Amino acid sequence: QVQLVESGGGLVQAGGSLRLSCVASGRTFSSYAMGWFRQAPGKEREFVARISASGGRTYYADSVKGRFTISRDNAKNAVYLQMNSLKPEDTAVYYCAARDSLRPNYDYWGQGTQVTVSS
């Protein structure tokens, strides 16, 4: 019932930047906390960043802190991940996810977008 569509992935050299976007369907987007996750080849899915429903609170994995910025625009039903100073180890499929503020788990997931960082 809630669809999330990521975009903005691609191939970039180390040190470069990418901006990922995730657009959500639904009329209650503003009630959902949003997160970004990634899964690298041969590894389990890991948390990258999250943002509260209002956009007032953010949290980042240590591996990306200081380089990535999560933001949202509730008027556009969108969440973004600005990725700077990219490293080869950032290579992964990136997923956005939505969590109702009243629920403990992320219930909705996008299809993912590939980010590849070359050396």
CA angle at residue 108 from 4 to 85, to 5 degrees?
Answer: 60
Per-residue pLDDT at 96: 97
In the structure, what pLDDT confidence band is assigned to residue 28 with cuts at 50, 70 and 90? Answer: confident
Nearest alpha-carbon partner for 77 in 95, 55, 101: 55
pLDDT at 1 over 80: no
